[in-house]
Structure 1
Amino acid sequence: MRRDGTPTGAPASYAWELPPIRSSTLAPPPELAARRASMGSLPRPTHPGVDIDDARYGDVPCVVCTPPRPRGTVLYLHGGGYRLGSAALFTAFAARLAAATGARVVAADYRLAPEHPFPAAPHDAARVYERLLSECDVPPVVLGDSAGGGLGAALVVACARSGMAVPSGLVLLSAWLDLRCAAGSYRSRAATDQLFSHEAARQAADQYLQGHPADDPLASPLLGDLRAFPPTLLCASTDEVLLDDSVAFAAALARAGVATSASYVPGVPHAWPSVFLDLPASAQALDVVARFARPLLAKEPTAV
């Protein structure tokens, strides 16, 4: 029995206000296909005390990392510009996240562009979230890095529009929050960001949006109504091209009256906590995330 009196596992009665799924107008360009192939597949990592399994939530494939006596759930949305990556490739980070927070971590394998353009990724995130919400006492904390951070914020926008309970908290790591790709840090940090660039951002945005307006808050949550957002933690590198996205989003959240914490770290790469796991700064960031998330994983649910 959930705390709202609804039986655990009962189907939700909400209708998501999301645009309809569209067919792709683009095939993966050869360079994107080559990048995907170069990533290959990794042996499933292990982490002491964390069980790692495959599951489907809302018919979306997921990797589930469960620590002993889990307390709450984190929905993790991986990065990759909406066109690269998978839950499997980020399993090692998800397992460390589970160990650090003490929560079950569900990493969603949402569909990628250009084969599946906007809004396929928000639909998949919503389906996983709705299923988790139906079986959890407390709404999950949502964590995303890079494009996954933008997707996590877009999920909160969708929850607010649809009357769905918002997440207990939101964690955004090097988040891509404005697909108009006009922030000044694309230029001011071009020489120090070795993983992302203005050109890469524009290509990825075009392949994801395929003509859909970039100023839609479900694509660029920086432009949305943020008043319903839960407590939010943002972490970004001062050397990355997406720095201004995080700075602007933190300011917008504060103006909307949302409890907001921000950490800006010099000398680290884009999305360092989830991509460069063995950096001391990554362990430090994971500790910041865990201290933020743990109290939220036990609070009473909050409905929009």
Structure 2
Amino acid sequence: MTNYETLIDAETWAFIEKTNSYYPPDTIDYTIAEQRAIYDRMCREFFAGYPQGVTVETTAIPAPAQDIPIRLYRNAKPQTAAMVLYVHGGGFILGGLDSHDDVCAELCARTGFEVVSVDYRLAPEHLHPAAFDDVMAAFEWAAAAYDRPVLLCGDSAGGNLCAAVAHATRGHAKKPIGQLLIYPGLGGDRSRGSYVTHAEAPMLTVRDLEFYKHIRTGGEDRTGDITLAPLADADFAYLPPTVLITAECDPLSSDGEAYRDRVVAAGGHAYWFEEPGLVHGYLRARHTVGRARASFTRIVEAATALGKGDWIW
């Protein structure tokens, strides 16, 4: 049994307790509509505002199924090396342009890069591969519309979608300059590693993961589908430089390690860092928890390096 009382510090416990006060651990037992209302309220409670100098525009881009809402973040003194395509987390059923609004704004302010956030379609109304199709369409739009490279960045479910797009675009003339995956779920082996050690972690459990997978697929067996689980791919060659940042107290942490190992074994560049004592969803703790603050700085530095084409690890 993992002793979280020793792994997790007081600041992080305060964050967990605050999160649970808005988004209780049994929220997955509610209806999807209720879950979304609870999640949206929690996001509003943690909203940190926009940094000075960041301007925001909400619009949409055309796509085969339906237009995809996006939100663009621009800095007063923009860097032109790359733009960031940000894909939000939320278990493929929660979140949107507002849920990670301040995270995107701060990423824009601190890197200087323009950031585009994607409001992909959610399950269960839109089963897999709808979300993947939307993020793929958003990437193709960004690659065509901008005269600079595109950096993929996403957390949790968004990290999954970023990796799936990276795998799908390896042969494209315009492919991502890099990918930055924050506590992503990549479809790893659930019989070992963090899936066992941290099966009952605060903030995210293996039961939660099974629920999200079932909702995303409608219960259909999609074994081997790399657009659903990038770790199912047999070929990890020619992927863009990749940085994976995971939380120690999270069943998904081993996915970061496994993905790093496969990219490196295929001759690519990948770096994995596991944040000690942190939990899934800690991006919302970046202003109140020292460890999360330090991790967000690492994320900013990684985005800046990847966006400029500098491989420094």
Report if aligned partners of 1:236, 1:265 keep a CA contact under 8 Å in 2.
yes
Does 2:175 match 1:166?
yes
Does 2:207 match 1:207?
no
Give the drift of 1:169.
0.8
Does 2:135 match 1:125?
yes
Aligned length: 270
- Of 195-204 and 37-46, more deviation after overlay is shown by 37-46
Determine the structure 1 residue equivalent to 2:31: 31
Q: Compared with structure 1, are the counterparts of its residues 49 and 183 closer, same or farther at alpha carbon in structure 2 (3 Å cutoff)?
A: farther
Report if aligned partners of 1:78, 1:86 keep a CA contact under 8 Å in 2.
yes
Give the drift of 1:38.
1.4
Determine the structure 1 residue equivalent to 2:14: none
Determine the structure 1 residue equivalent to 2:61: 57
1:242-257, aligned counterparts within 5 Å?
242-257=252-267
Q: Match for 1:48 among 49, 52, 75? A: 52
Tell me the distance in 2 between the aligned counterparts of 1:44 and 1:63. 17
Determine the structure 2 residue equivalent to 1:7: none
Look up the SS of the partner of 2:279 in the other structure: coil
Look up the SS of the partner of 1:106 in the other structure: strand
Report if aligned partners of 1:180, 1:215 keep a CA contact under 8 Å in 2.
no
Please tell me the residue identity of whatever aligns with 2:206. H
Give the drift of 1:183.
4.3
Q: Compared with structure 1, are the counterparts of its residues 38 and 258 closer, same or farther at alpha carbon in structure 2 (3 Å cutoff)?
A: same
Look up the SS of the partner of 2:196 in the other structure: helix
Tell me the distance in 2 between the aligned counterparts of 1:180 and 1:120. 24
Please tell me the residue identity of whatever aligns with 2:54. V
Return the structure number with greater helix share: 2
Q: Compared with structure 1, are the counterparts of its residues 291 and 277 closer, same or farther at alpha carbon in structure 2 (3 Å cutoff)?
A: closer
Alpha carbon RMSD of aligned pairs, Å? Answer: 2.2
Could you tell me which runs of 5 or more consecutive residues in structure 1 were left unpaired when the two chains were aligned.
Answer: 1-27
Please tell me the residue identity of whatever aligns with 1:171. L
Percent identical pairs in the alignment equals 28
Look up the SS of the partner of 1:214 in the other structure: coil
Determine the structure 2 residue equivalent to 1:149: 159
Tell me the distance in 2 between the aligned counterparts of 1:158 and 1:164. 12
Tell me the distance in 1 between the aligned counterparts of 2:173 and 2:127. 24
Determine the structure 1 residue equivalent to 2:194: 185
Q: Compared with structure 1, are the counterparts of its residues 214 and 79 closer, same or farther at alpha carbon in structure 2 (3 Å cutoff)?
A: farther
Determine the structure 2 residue equivalent to 1:68: 76
Report if aligned partners of 2:286, 2:296 keep a CA contact under 8 Å in 1.
no
Tell me the distance in 2 between the aligned counterparts of 1:97 and 1:189. 29
Determine the structure 1 residue equivalent to 2:11: none
What CA deviation, in whole Å up to 9, does each residue of 1:34-71 have, x standing for no partner? 11111336389322111122121333101221112322
Give the drift of 1:182.
4.2
Determine the structure 2 residue equivalent to 1:79: 89
Please tell me the residue identity of whatever aligns with 1:47. P
Determine the structure 2 residue equivalent to 1:217: 226
Please tell me the residue identity of whatever aligns with 1:173. I
Give the drift of 1:100.
1.5
With normalisation by structure 1, the TM-score equals 0.82
Report if aligned partners of 2:132, 2:164 keep a CA contact under 8 Å in 1.
yes
Report if aligned partners of 1:97, 1:286 keep a CA contact under 8 Å in 2.
no
Give the drift of 1:217.
0.8
Report if aligned partners of 1:73, 1:297 keep a CA contact under 8 Å in 2.
yes
Tell me the distance in 2 between the aligned counterparts of 1:291 and 1:45. 21
Determine the structure 2 residue equivalent to 1:234: 244
- Of 182-191 and 143-152, more deviation after overlay is shown by 182-191
Please tell me the residue identity of whatever aligns with 1:75. L
With normalisation by structure 2, the TM-score equals 0.80
